[in-house]
A and B are shown apart, each in its own frame.
Chain A
Amino acid sequence: MLGIMNRAAPDPTDLLQDALNAAPGGFVELRWHKKQTRGISVEKGRVDNATASEHSGVGVRVLEQGTFGFASTDRLEKGAVVRAIGEARAAARASSRARRERVPDFPAVTLARGRFDAPGVDATLARPIESALEMLLEVERGARAGSSRVTSASTAYAEIYEEKGIVTSDGAKVWTRAIRPEFRVIAIAAKAGEMQRGAEAVGVTGGWECLFESKSPAQLAEKAAKQAVYLLDAGYPEGGRTQVLLSPALVGLLTHEAVGHTVEADFVASGSCAAGRLGTRVASDLVTLCDSGASEYHDGAGGTLAVDDEGVATQRTTVIENGFLRSYLHDRESAARSGVAPTGNARAWEYDDEPLIRMRNTYIAPGTSKLDEMIAGTDDGYLLDGASNGQADANGEFMFGTREAYRIVRGKKGPLLRGVNISGSAFDVLQTVDAVGSEFRWDLGSGHCGKGQPAKVDAGGPWLRCEVVLGGRKA
């Protein structure tokens, strides 16, 4: 068994507290953040990557002269942390002349104290990396063996193990640990000079068993290979505005890209389409949308965290309740400006990154409809599945990719068509929701959300019917 890293550090919070006590004055936030990653990738029987890495240090954020300063040190030593506090203060002082509106002192809030461990940490750390390598090689072989049309396949496993110690001058003192493994398989199929790609990915906060709870690696590989092969013979959907049934993965993209970003309080302050709309109707009354630090409904959501990077215990934030906009997502600064409690959405990717307002696990709550009934009740539209990438603008206009499409005509589902990108305006689309499924699934736990820094998030929901614009091949 390989002793690849995974040396659990001792509780760093006492050392951080000592450093903070040695440099008193004003608001100071110290965050020890140790990140260890293990990753392996395999393509066509060859190991392209077998990596173990560590990136650890202490990030220091101060509020001085009404503005923030940030500095970091890669050493968990009292002297180094005290020096970094001084550097952060100097940076704040040097920049305060450019600050037009001073940041007020944070109001007192209840901050987290104690130790918080996400599930699966010890079991996953104890698992030898050889087992992941063997699995990747076997599954990759299997993906290629499924069809003579599959010309290439690749598999990858990665896990991020994080320890954080957070101490603030106003009372937070927490030590957290979490592990987030993910698995990805890609198959390329070819016919007559044309290529198509099938892909499946899963990612969780938790252990190996949680990662493959729904589908085994071999099942995921088989699905990716079949998708690539079937897409070779698939046609294109027609473009235009149409009714669609979105799978839980796509509902996840919709909630994350189209709504979640627009209700992040920093985007709201910049004039996003959610600004000034609290208390107003933004969706059909079938829609209740939340962002939670917990893994609601099912274990393992990829963005699960107990405490955010400002030391605020996370909670479930109801963003839209039965169609009405109820809350934005806040860090401590935006919450103070809005006169509300912080929602635990401040997150930093690594120790040398400052916390930003980020989502955790974002979802639409399940309704009562069965998928079969939703298909049968659709006269003319598409069923869409398989999440690809997605982006959204502050004005709510979103785009995201789908891997598979099926035409529905008079309640009957047709053959597979190639996936397309869909677009719309977030709140306009949510107003068109006329059916919400009863089965819930997290389905966006692999990969990252990008907002200057990456973040591990998850999103999901039930099947949902709404209207979007489809970027089909025939105009």
Chain B
Amino acid sequence: MSTTTTGRGRTADTLSQREREEELLARCETLVAEALRAGADEAEAFATHAQKSAATFEKGDLKLAHVDEGSTIGLRVFRQNRLGFAATNQFDAAALAAAARNAVALASASPADPANRLPDARPIVELPSLVHPGIARLGIDEAVDLGHTLLTRAQKFDTRISVDGANASTSRVSQAIHTSRGVRAVESDAMVSLSISGMALEGADVGGFHYGSDAIRDPVLLESALARLADDFARTSVGNLAAQRAPTSYQGLVLFSPDAVLDLFVAPVLAASSAIAVQRGRSALGKRLGERIGAPGLSIHDRPGDAELAGAASFDREGQPARLFALVEDGWLRGWMYNGYAAAVENRASTGHARGGARGAPGLGAHAVCVAGGTGGSREDLLAALGRGLLVQRFSGSVDPASGDFSGVAKSSRWVEGGRETGPVRETLLSGNAYQLLARIVALGNASERVDGSARSPWALVDGLTVTAG
């Protein structure tokens, strides 16, 4: 393995994973030391290195082959409990010194906050390696092949398919953290990401746009995941042809796909479960900890140990252990998510929910959200329970996290009569209140399905929606 390193610390050839991790940690140590010399009381450096090969397809043909490699380092400092942050992708001594000076200067200008302090080091239970050699070895040739296979499989599914864009990328990412409070951690990841978007065309009929994506770490699963992604995309796109206006507007039951459940109901719960949102008085669930907020059977967990999901990780953006966390269990609101800052406000430990990359100060969020399956049976069982009404595969709209109010368009949606899909509908709007509707989940499907490689959810039948036919 060649390990040629330039005088500026950037590799001109491939480093081993271990060497890469050691290099990142060394850069973090250097920058933390630089920050302390520049006047910081505490300093945290978080660095990432990514190697990526991507093939982009447009209009059913290869558009671009993209190879890329780069590093970024972010520095958070506290000076007299004042916050400053700087990031750079330049690693020469002058650039790192400038980053340290900038972070300290920003801290000097900021007001003090007693919760501005770094968390102490805590033991991290390392996940089994997220780097499978069978994925890590893939480069631009394989990205082109995967993208081409994805594209042609979707096109062969039905001649009416028009692929607007398809992308296959392979990535190897390492991230390291070092702080003046003794946090020191490093982890690497290798993944294939696939995405496809487009529609079906038949004469003058342009079907509704659809897209899908996945992220895979296990080479054994790659072929089947690609096939499923292509087929699901094509099937849904063709199904969007000849869309009609919904037969009627109504208030009542709607059947949601796992994707729509996550966007419409889970995302606002996550926003409202941020301890910072609660502390600042902008969480709609802020006074409901320990109360039942959802229907029996509704359980939402963060599972950073689920290696089949993109957000799997051993530690969070602050080097704190990431672990299984219950947000909602059987409808009961169980806990808030804390990062280091929110934890310091309440003088308690972080729950390992600092999120973000090297280019910004740590935020707060979940790693790998999983909604548990229920007892509602299969998709067909849920269709039967719906009887007559709307099935929504994607929701295109906005949910106000403060109020929970939402309205938006039901995409790739189908009308259902007698428990059977009768055809696609268009220009159909949905509205309601996400927090109120959590309690009106009538049934959750048995299977919790992977969504875009980043989360899991079952289908859900929900009552109380307002459906407006266009």
Known contacts A51-B106, A241-B470, A267-B164; decide if A423 and B87 are in contact (CB<8 Å): no
Known A54-B88, A94-B140, A270-B164; contact A354-B66, beta-carbon cutoff 8 A: yes
Query: What separation, in Å, do the CA atoms of A2 and B430 have in the docked complex?
Result: 49
From 1 to 53 in chain A, residues with beta carbon under 8 angstroms from any chain B beta carbon are 2-5, 7, 43-53
Q: Please tell me which one of the listed residues A2, A90, A267, A273 contacts residue B109 in the complex, with CB atoms under 8 A apart.
A: A2
| Interchain CA distance A459-B32 in the complex, whole Å | 43
Q: Is A388 located at the chain interface by the 8 A CB criterion?
A: yes
Cα separation A470 to B64 with both chains bound (whole Å): 40
Contact A469 B427, CB 8 Å, known A395-B207, A475-B467: yes
Which residues of chain A have C-beta atoms less than 8 A from B282's C-beta?
A: 151-152, 188, 195
- Measured between beta carbons, the chain A residues less than 8 angstroms from B198 are 270, 394
Q: Does A55 contact B (CB under 8 A)?
A: yes
Q: Quick one: which of A5, A68, A270 contacts B64, CB cutoff 8 A?
A: A68
Q: Does B85 contact A (CB under 8 A)?
A: yes
Q: In the bound complex, what is the Cα–Cα distance between A473 and B432 (angstroms)?
A: 7
Q: A53 contacts B88, CB within 8 Å?
A: yes
Known: A53-B359, A70-B67, A471-B431. A197 touches B58 (CB 8 A): no
**Chain A residues, Cβ within 8 Å of B398:** 388-389, 401, 421
| A95-B427 contact, Cβ under 8 Å, with A70-B67, A397-B409, A421-B398 | no
State the CA gap A336–B95 with chains docked (Å). Answer: 42
Is there a chain B Cβ closer than 8 Å to A289's Cβ? no
Q: How far is the CA of A3 from the CA of B430 in the complex (A)?
A: 50
A67 interface hit (Cβ, 8 Å): yes
CB <8 Å contact, B409 and A399 = yes
Interface membership of A391, Cβ < 8 A: yes
Contact B402 A196 (CB under 8 A): yes
- How distant is A90 from chain B, measured CB to nearest CB, in Å? 8
Interface hit among B16-24, B97-105, B296-304, B443-451: B97-105
Interface mask (B63-78 → A, CB under 8 Å = 1, otherwise 0): 1111110111010000
B59 at the interface (CB under 8 A from A): yes
- Chain B residues whose CB sits within 8 angstroms of the CB of A445 once the complex forms: none
Chain B contacts with A in 90-144, Cβ cutoff 8 A: 90, 95, 98, 101-103, 105-107, 109-111, 113, 140-141, 144
CB distance from A304 to the nearest CB of B (A): 25
Tier of interface size on chain A: 35 or more
Interface stretch, picked from A71-79, A105-113, A208-216, is A71-79
Using CB atoms and an 8 Å cutoff, list the residues of chain A in contact with chain B: 2-5, 7, 43-57, 61, 67-72, 74-75, 83, 87-88, 90-92, 94-95, 97-101, 129-130, 133, 137, 151-152, 188, 190, 193-197, 236, 239-241, 266-267, 269-273, 352, 354, 388-389, 391, 393-397, 399, 401, 418, 420-421, 423-425, 452, 469-475
Instruction: Give the interface of B toward A (CB within 8 A).
Output: 8, 10, 12, 53, 55-56, 58-68, 70-72, 74, 82-90, 95, 98, 101-103, 105-107, 109-111, 113, 140-141, 144-145, 147-148, 162-165, 198-199, 201, 206-209, 249-251, 280-282, 284, 287, 359-361, 396-398, 400-403, 405, 407-409, 411, 426-427, 429-432, 466-468, 470
Could you name 30 residue pairs across A and B whose Cβ atoms are closer than 8 Å?
A: A2-B102, A43-B280, A48-B83, A50-B106, A52-B86, A54-B88, A67-B62, A67-B64, A70-B66, A70-B68, A74-B90, A75-B10, A87-B67, A94-B140, A197-B402, A240-B468, A266-B164, A271-B206, A273-B206, A388-B398, A393-B199, A394-B206, A397-B208, A397-B409, A399-B409, A421-B409, A421-B431, A424-B470, A470-B429, A473-B432
